[in-house]
Amino acid sequence: MSSAGRPPRHGWDLTLARSILLASLVGIVIVMGLGVAVWRSQWDQSVDRATSEARRTAFFLSQHAEQLFIVSDLALQKAVQIADGGDWGRVGNSRTAHEALVSIREDISYIEDLWLNDADGRLRLTSFRFPTPPSSAADRDAFKAQIEGDGGLYVGGPITGRVTSRGTFLVSRRIVNEDGGFAGTAMATVDLGYFNDFWTQLTLSDGMRVTVFRAEDMSVLTSWPESVPSPPDTGGFTEQITEAAKTGEMEFVENDDIRFGSYHRIGDRAVYVRVTQSSDALAEEFWQRFRPLMLFAGFGLLPLLALMAVAWRMAVSAEGTRLQLDREVRQRTADLRAETRLLDTLNRSGLSLSAKLDQDGIVQMVVDSATVLSGARYGAFFYLKHQPNGEHLRLHVLSGAKKEDFAQFADPRETAVFAPTFADNRVVRSDDITKDPRYARGVGGTESRTAASADYTGGMPHGHLPVRSYLAVPVVNWEGKAHGAVLLGHPEPGRFSMRHEELIRGLAAQGAIALDNAGLFEDAQREIIARRAAEDEQRILIDELNHRVKNMLATIKAVLKLSSRSASDVSSFTETFVNRLSSLAATHTILTEGMRQSADLKQIIENEVAPYAVTSQSGATGARIGLDGPSVELPATIAVPLGMGLHELVTNAVKYGALSVPAGRLTIRWWIAESDERPILELRWLERNGPPVSLPERKGFGSQLLQRVLVDQIGAECSFDFDPAGLSASITVELPHRPASSA
């Protein structure tokens, strides 16, 4: 095309370059401004999240610690009973009493040992050893606190055990004699490793610190990470927990690091859990998350900078680019024609590979095809082999030579020239492998075992296949799993080009897919076997469900008959019948979760009383309903009748008893009593502050149902006391075996 009539390009190119420069500068300012705004917003969110996490963690850990202290108190109460009012002459020499202490200790994982001391502090009995070693706790604060009076469970300061020589802290309870006088103390040492193991499992954030300490002397009972110093009184922390004794937040400086977090009191004790976060650790975590955004912003600037450079060069390079493009098009056209012929060969190999499901045949075909496509003289496939002393590569198939030719040489992983392929899944192509600086060198740069022991001739070990041109391609699937590598060689230099490398890459990818398919075929066979086993299990579950449905229908039939006899009209019959079915359904819901064969007694009781009041496990003042008892797993044959019986007692209390008035209170306690034959469940029902109670004139549906489902079905013993102050009931049930406890 003629240049006549065409406007000069120089002025136009300069104007375009200035426009691109200005647009690039504006873009840079916008990107940097947005980056600062995003940084500030993300930092504020990180601080808020860390503060919220510390608050939630402190609350959760305080609740957990409170439960540990409650269980520890129960264990100490049992230990006090073993002390038998301070009869130390009998208890101190009793192996039976020692074994009872050991049994209590073994039931609670976080208690190291239990200790019984007389009124002078002398150690009389312990779960640590029998006979009892000599020791005294007269100077321990946990002992002194019990001398002054019975204050319940006392949490002592950190100590080192005189008998065990381990770091711990004590919890104690007072032992009184028959006259109510001080007879000694029951104490337990706490396993600090339990707290560290539990807190480690919580996967707390980096830089987060947990301490459990006493308010009276700020001594640390346990901490995570370990060896944390006592909580500093920075910023009036002592006054802060005095003013806000239950919970609060704080911020202080420690070793030039600003720490912030939250504290929470453990129950009503002067013991606190404090969770703090390091600002330095939070900043490090923040930069780890924000760095990709900075990189993204940097990448956003790169095109603008590139545009600025292009603007100055575009006028000079436009014509040269066009001429270069014409030459490349002609060259690429010739290359594409040649590559098309090779790709046809590759496609035919791919079709053959897709039809194979045996791994040996697939590998052999890959090596043979690679040898043909690249024009190599030798081809080999090495695969990963797992051995006790580590992974090694072994020759699997070979093309163009015999396996005996490789037997005398070292494993491929031992030389540096093979390391990129087998360790990093990278392709290695060399025109003359003997001139490669990694040739015959070990992975660490030392001389390889083969090189050190072989007789070299002209740079090649004696007896080695004559290889100069070298091409190694890893066989890796889409998940990055390496099946092995294809190694190709030729005795003449410069025989492998980039085109050969790309072809072998494609063939290796097809080979990886074929090997994956062969593996999937084997997995499918195993899955068929597993599915058949699952179907057998499903049939067993269906039989179990059929059995439970039949039992439930029989129970519903009995409830229907009794409800119809006691109802005065259809409306009352419907309401009563529906409520009783709901109770039955709630128990069955617990039983059918995961096809369980048992139900938790505590969960059954909570389901029944939940609509009427907030339950209190610790008997706190003001709670309408108090529950006190261990977690007991009941078999289905006992859980269903007992659940219906409790429903009737709750319904009676709501209609006529303590729960019918705001001031009424209901207390339910249960425990497992020991027996020579089978364990016995004891349950006590006590109503107070309700309407006056009188002896009923006739038996209602509730009494009949209790007789039918508790006495007749499960052989329970039931007794009722119609005290004017409130109804009390006792239910005793013999269990088939010792129930499992989730406490």
Give mean pLDDT, residues 690-694.
Answer: 91
More confident residue, 15 or 179: 179
Residues 504, 601, single domain; the answer is no
Residues 364, 503, single domain; the answer is yes
pLDDT at 523: 80
Q: Is the pLDDT of residue 642 over 70?
A: yes
CATH classification of the domain holding 387: 3.30.450.40
CA nearest neighbour of 400 among 431, 432, 371: 371
Residues 504, 627, single domain; the answer is no
- Within a domain: 2: no
Task: State how far the Cα of 500 lies from the Cα of 503, in Å rounded to an integer.
Answer: 5
Residues 602, 463, single domain; the answer is no
Task: Please state, rounded to an integer, the average pLDDT across all residues of the chain.
Answer: 75
Q: Which of 509, 526, 559 is the last residue of a domain?
A: 509
Task: State how far the Cα of 329 lies from the Cα of 319, in Å rounded to an integer.
Answer: 15
Burial class (CB in 10 A: 0-12, 13-18, 19+), 270: middle
pLDDT at 699: 66
- Within a domain: 202: no
- Within a domain: 700: yes
pLDDT in tens, 425-478: 888 888 888 887 777 665 555 555 444 444 444 445 555 677 888 888 888 888
- Within a domain: 25: no
More confident residue, 225 or 388: 225
More confident residue, 461 or 698: 698
Kindly indicate the confidence band of residue 316, based on its pLDDT and cuts at 50, 70 and 90.
very low
Query: Among the ranges 26-40, 262-276, 387-401, 680-694, which has the highest mean pLDDT value?
Result: 680-694
Residues spanned by the domain of 692: 597-734
pLDDT in tens, 254-305: 777 788 888 888 888 888 888 888 777 777 766 776 667 666 666 666 676 6
Q: Which of 509, 533, 549 is the last residue of a domain?
A: 509
Residues 610, 494, single domain; the answer is no
Using CA atoms of 404, 406, 410, 412 in order, give the dihedral in degrees to the nearest 10: -140
pLDDT at 388: 54
Give mean pLDDT, residues 152-176.
Answer: 84
- Within a domain: 406: yes
pLDDT at 455: 45
pTM of this structure: 0.39
pLDDT in tens, 480-494: 887 788 888 888 888
**Number of domains forming the structure of the chain:** 2
Task: State how far the Cα of 334 lies from the Cα of 320, in Å rounded to an integer.
Answer: 22
Give mean pLDDT, residues 27-55.
Answer: 74
Task: State how far the Cα of 216 lies from the Cα of 599, in Å rounded to an integer.
Answer: 43
Residues 605, 472, single domain; the answer is no
pLDDT in tens, 609-625: 887 765 445 444 347 89
Give mean pLDDT, residues 61-85.
Answer: 86
Burial class (CB in 10 A: 0-12, 13-18, 19+), 690: buried
- Within a domain: 156: no
